[in-house]
Amino acid sequence: MAELDNKFDELKTRLAQIHDLNKAAGVLSWDQRTIMPARGARVRAEQLATLGQVAHEKFSAPEVGRLLEALRPYEDSLPYDSDAASLIRVTRRDWEKARRVPGELRAQMARTASLANGAWVEARQQSDFALFAPHLQKNIDLKHRYVECYDEVENPYDVLLDDYEPEMTTAEVSRVFDELKRHLVPLIAAVAERGRPVDDSGLRGHFPADQQRAFVTGIISRFGFQPDSWRLDPTVHPFASNSATTDIRITTRYYDDTIGPALFGSMHECGHGLYENGISPLLERTPLCRGVSLGLHESQSRLWENLVGRSRPFWRHFFPSLQAAFPEPFAALDLETFYRAINKVQPSFIRVEADEATYNLHVILRFELEQEIMAGRLPVADLPAAWNARMRDYLGVTVPDDAHGVLQDVHWSSGYLGYFPTYSLGNIISCQIWEKAAAALPGLYNQFEQGEFQPLREWLREALYRHGRKFTPAETLQRVVGGPIDVGPYVRYLTSKLTEIYSL
Amino acid sequence: MAELDNKFDELKTRLAQIHDLNKAAGVLSWDQRTIMPARGARVRAEQLATLGQVAHEKFSAPEVGRLLEALRPYEDSLPYDSDAASLIRVTRRDWEKARRVPGELRAQMARTASLANGAWVEARQQSDFALFAPHLQKNIDLKHRYVECYDEVENPYDVLLDDYEPEMTTAEVSRVFDELKRHLVPLIAAVAERGRPVDDSGLRGHFPADQQRAFVTGIISRFGFQPDSWRLDPTVHPFASNSATTDIRITTRYYDDTIGPALFGSMHECGHGLYENGISPLLERTPLCRGVSLGLHESQSRLWENLVGRSRPFWRHFFPSLQAAFPEPFAALDLETFYRAINKVQPSFIRVEADEATYNLHVILRFELEQEIMAGRLPVADLPAAWNARMRDYLGVTVPDDAHGVLQDVHWSSGYLGYFPTYSLGNIISCQIWEKAAAALPGLYNQFEQGEFQPLREWLREALYRHGRKFTPAETLQRVVGGPIDVGPYVRYLTSKLTEIYSL
């Protein structure tokens, strides 16, 4: 076995180097999106392309495949859930995927997406889909070539989905979303038709960025990162990133007239950050050192943003200090009015501004359109009309122009097809995990009222975070909640919350 | 020639990738030294090691040597000063150096220096040289192995020097420093013995960091970076860095009770930054895209810090706004007292706090001790005594303890032997270049009084900055000042300035 030990060490060393290169790219990207002088962008793009290319070359090298093959007996000799067996198993799956895609195609996808992104910015500014359409077509054509690299798939969309939610099939997402839609459409209609109105005008005021930052930092500190292991910085399009499990970078955006985006956005990104911060230190510098899928990741951002951050017990604790920090709008407001306002449901055009309930219909719409596009049933030119029709059907709103419709999201310009569904998968999973946590920690809400979140965070770390990518998303979910994805808890949560707020 | 064109393109592509990896390491290092959460350090060290190793492997690859060999006819067909011929020529020299040093030795030097650095921090805190001595010995032993990689050298110290000041010999530095010492020692003695005293107590006061930052930013903006191409950040040990010629990062340190370090330190780092910012955009992402040597680089930091920033015309312009920004200490001060105070000469223990004149004796002392150590004439154990004796001889001061003596600098712990001389070479060269600039731009001081620095910066960009590393340091200096290194201008500058201030 000494030779196998050596081979395993060699594999780990190679993977650690590749991980370092990817994390370096992460730091450069974080830097670009937060603090980089604007004129540094052209060279930074080259640096990111180089890091991506070198990391990919090193990973898809035949030698990695030979090591993985040679290590089969080593893997078989270890427990399935050991770090070492998991590293070999997960890396083999990654390698099998990576080696199928020619470097030339990968480079062409990156270049095309880069140009498409520029065209999209312009098109959105002018609200003119025609400017973007040819670039989107190129991205889609390349996605078809990408799908062809995986010759044995049944549904081409499965390949796209797998990059973000490994081993989840289109059929399974469709089944889950159909069921979700069946519950959500009537619930949202009931709120609009029969609910007592919610007044959120009391949330408007004057919010200096420095004071927002201080307040938000106070909350995030309570959520419980290890000290000296995180940063919060302003940016235009908020995101979470990290250089190590002990160096988490979250970002947010401060608006003058409302604290909502910074408040809930920060808690959202903090959820992503807590997941990465909680990964076992033993997995550091390995490909297992990451949240297992975008869906599971989003379950944590949504859990901390919504299930914690929009809950009544949370605000029983924090509302007095919010009133003290911002007496201007909040001194005159009572907790109940505030609670109802931050949970208001109202169909709107823009996904990222949508409330907890309608958000999913934005996602389902995109998931359906993406499938039709990839199946060739929907020509790109017809996309705006299809978008607008479905917005009317699902949310009852009339899209005024493409900037508020089909052009609102960056994803398609970046070549991210198959990404959107993970947002709603995250919502669904967040409530499955929440029910388990609440059952395991009976005093959870009492703790929130005391500003105490450590028991929840520790439970999540133990149940989910520490595993990183050791298991598949489905295996991971099974371990945490004891079953597969299930819309039940989410529907129960929304129905109960909205029934109370809107007196349905 | 088409085949040669292809080979040249291949070389450029490889070098651009390597440059990207090195610049990525630069960003990661900048991040670590300015804003990184403290707990990120362990993983960051691994990331930096990986980037260094991958860049070195890619550069020292035999294929790069083969390309360089194949490109000889291409190089010969082009003018010596063309970008392409210079790229091949300079890269060949770099490659010849890089390929001689085994990766194993390089890694061992990095690891040993890393441990030595930790020991040095501890030793300095306790002011106990014995804690550091064995680590220094290891660094020195490895330097000897490093020197042996270059078998044909006459003086081992030449090899060390070449890493920082290419093609400069120990003999030449000795000649220059001996002459400098011959002038400086009596000049400094005259100031101490016969000069009228200078009172700098008026520089003390209360200086909030935010206001220092605003004032310093105002100055640096006038020195003239392109907009959106630089940042200024606080740090513990100030430095200048960059991710691209259009993304310059300078750093400084704010003390509560004095603005001097932030003021002159920022102008110093700004000088480094202006050099990199002024390199021709055509050299971006090539190994030529860097200042040509540490000496030439330091000439620019010192030029902007001292020849500009400690000049009377500069303060004729800025002193009123300094008084307005900090009325507490400065409203009561007149310009002449301020000017004399910021140019006060006083022998002291610490190099980085030394004035313009005594600074060089600190450097010469280190240069002499380094040579004796490398020649085996000075055992490490005797270093503190030798240090203290020379401080008495050159500066007339008695070193109280090792922390204020032999342990004060980080360089030896990091394995930087041969680095110190470049500081004084920079001082000397700064005045050679200054005399040329002043001759070419007769209205220079009038412009400073108007707060106008663009003509000087443009002259420097045209004469020096744009060339990057296209020529050797000696060739570069020849192009700018028409001759070799010469202490004359520096001695004239200091003598004239101190004669006036101290009424010698």
How confident is the model over A365-417, as pLDDT tens digits?
999 999 999 999 999 999 999 999 999 999 999 999 999 999 999 999 999 99
pLDDT, tens digit, 9 for 90 and up, residues A439-452: 999 999 999 999 99
Residue B107 has pLDDT above 90, yes or no: no
The residue of B46, B250, B285, B286 whose CB has the most chain A CBs within 10 angstroms, and thus the best one to mutate to test that interface, is: B46
- Whether residues B43 and A243 touch (CB distance < 8 A) is answered with yes
From A35, which residue of chain B is nearest by alpha-carbon distance? B231
Token digits for B244? 């691209």
CB A277 within 8 Å of CB A243: no
- Whether residues A248 and B37 touch (CB distance < 8 A) is answered with yes
The pLDDT assigned to A292 comes to 98
For B236, which DSSP code? S
pLDDT, tens digit, 9 for 90 and up, residues B347-382: 999 999 999 999 999 999 999 999 999 999 999 999
The residue of A46, A231, A233, A245 whose CB has the most chain B CBs within 10 angstroms, and thus the best one to mutate to test that interface, is: A46
CB atoms under 10 Å from CB of B64, counted, come to 22
In chain B, % helix, strand, coil (3-state, to 5) comes to 70, 5, 30
pLDDT, tens digit, 9 for 90 and up, residues B278-309: 999 999 999 999 999 999 999 999 999 999 99
More confident of the two residues B107 and B273: B273
Burial class (CB in 10 A: 0-12, 13-18, 19+), B157: buried
Token digits for A93? 């799956």
Residues from chain A that touch B38, judged by Cβ atoms under 8 A, are: 228
- Whether residues A244 and B42 touch (CB distance < 8 A) is answered with yes
Residue A153 has pLDDT above 90, yes or no: no
B17 in contact with A, Cβ within 8 Å: yes
pLDDT, tens digit, 9 for 90 and up, residues A188-234: 999 999 889 999 999 999 999 999 999 999 999 999 898 899 999 99
Closest CA to B489 of B436, B443, B448, B442: B436
The residue of A13, A30, A47 whose CB has the most chain B CBs within 10 angstroms, and thus the best one to mutate to test that interface, is: A47
In chain A, % helix, strand, coil (3-state, to 5) comes to 70, 5, 30
Distance from CA of A109 to the nearest CA of B (A): 19
Alpha carbon distances (Å) from A465 to A135, A231, B415: 38, 19, 41
Closest CA to A417 of A237, A162, A148, A167: A162
- Whether residues B47 and A231 touch (CB distance < 8 A) is answered with no
Residue A6 has pLDDT above 70, yes or no: yes
Residue A365 sits at the vertex; the CA angle it makes with A360 and A371, to the nearest 5 degrees, is 125
Cβ pairs bridging A and B (under 8 Å): 125
From B22, which residue of chain A is nearest by alpha-carbon distance? A47
ipTM over 0.90: yes
Distance from CA of A114 to the nearest CA of B (A): 19
At position B369, the amino acid (one-letter code) is L
Q: Model confidence at B247, in pLDDT bands (50, 70, 90)?
A: very high
Distance from CA of A369 to the nearest CA of B (A): 39
CB A358 within 8 Å of CB A347: yes
Residue A1 has pLDDT above 80, yes or no: no
Residues paired with A250 in a beta bridge: A232, A240
CB A24 within 8 Å of CB B24: yes
A45 in contact with B, Cβ within 8 Å: no
- Tell me the mean pLDDT in the region A472-478: 98
Residue B1 has pLDDT above 70, yes or no: no
Nearest to B43 among A37, A227, A247 (CB): A247
- Tell me the mean pLDDT in the region B59-86: 97
pLDDT, tens digit, 9 for 90 and up, residues B165-199: 999 999 999 999 999 999 999 999 999 998 899 99
Residues paired with B244 in a beta bridge: B247
- Whether residues A23 and B31 touch (CB distance < 8 A) is answered with no
pLDDT, tens digit, 9 for 90 and up, residues A379-393: 999 999 999 999 999
At position B187, the amino acid (one-letter code) is L
Sign of the alpha-carbon torsion through A478, A480, A482, A488: negative
Nearest to A31 among B17, B31, B246 (CB): B31
What mean pLDDT, rounded, does chain B reach? 96
Q: What's the rounded Cα separation, in Å, for the pair A155 and A157?
A: 5
CB A280 within 8 Å of CB A469: no
- Tell me the mean pLDDT in the region B396-415: 96
Q: What residues of chain B, 278 to 297, have a C-beta less than 8 Å from chain A? A: 284-285
Residues from chain B that touch A35, judged by Cβ atoms under 8 A, are: 35, 231
Helix (H, G, I), strand (E, B) or coil at B445: helix
Q: Model confidence at B2, in pLDDT bands (50, 70, 90)?
A: confident
Residues from chain A that touch B53, judged by Cβ atoms under 8 A, are: 17
Q: What's the rounded Cα separation, in Å, for the pair B411 and A335?
A: 59
- Whether residues B36 and A228 touch (CB distance < 8 A) is answered with no
CB A242 within 8 Å of CB A27: no
Measure the CA dihedral B29/B34/B39/B43, to 10°: -10
CB atoms under 10 Å from CB of A219, counted, come to 22
Token digits for A456? 């929840």
- Whether residues B24 and A23 touch (CB distance < 8 A) is answered with no
Strand pairing category for A247-252 and A230-234? parallel
CB B415 within 8 Å of CB B116: yes
Distance from CA of B493 to the nearest CA of A (A): 37
Nearest to A37 among B37, B50, B229 (CB): B229
The pLDDT assigned to A226 comes to 86
- Contact partners, residue B84, CB within 8 Å, separation at least 6: B8, B74, B75, B78
Residues from chain B that touch A51, judged by Cβ atoms under 8 A, are: 20-21, 24
What mean pLDDT, rounded, does chain A reach? 96
Q: What is the set of active-site residues of B?
A: 269
Residue B449 has pLDDT above 80, yes or no: yes
The pLDDT assigned to A326 comes to 97
The number of residues making up chain A comes to 504
The pLDDT assigned to B116 comes to 93
pLDDT, tens digit, 9 for 90 and up, residues B121-164: 999 999 999 999 999 999 999 999 999 999 888 899 999 999 99
Helix (H, G, I), strand (E, B) or coil at B245: coil
CB atoms under 10 Å from CB of B375, counted, come to 11
Say which of A3, A10, A152, A269 is annotated catalytic: A269
Residue A485 has pLDDT above 80, yes or no: yes
- Whether residues B44 and A244 touch (CB distance < 8 A) is answered with yes
CB B136 within 8 Å of CB B374: no
Whole-prediction pTM: 0.95
The residue of B247, B285, B289 whose CB has the most chain A CBs within 10 angstroms, and thus the best one to mutate to test that interface, is: B247
- Whether residues A24 and B24 touch (CB distance < 8 A) is answered with yes
Q: What residues of chain A, 424 to 483, have a C-beta less than 8 Å from chain B? A: none
Token digits for A116? 């498409």
- Whether residues B27 and A28 touch (CB distance < 8 A) is answered with yes
CB B421 within 8 Å of CB B165: yes
- Contact partners, residue B82, CB within 8 Å, separation at least 6: none
Q: What's the rounded Cα separation, in Å, for the pair A24 and B47?
A: 7
CB A430 within 8 Å of CB A475: no
B229 in contact with A, Cβ within 8 Å: yes
pLDDT, tens digit, 9 for 90 and up, residues B457-484: 999 999 999 999 999 999 999 999 999 9
CB A25 within 8 Å of CB A97: no
Percent of chain A with pLDDT over 90: 95
The backbone torsions φ and ψ at residue B350, rounded to the nearest 5 degrees and listed phi first, read -105, 120
B44 in contact with A, Cβ within 8 Å: yes
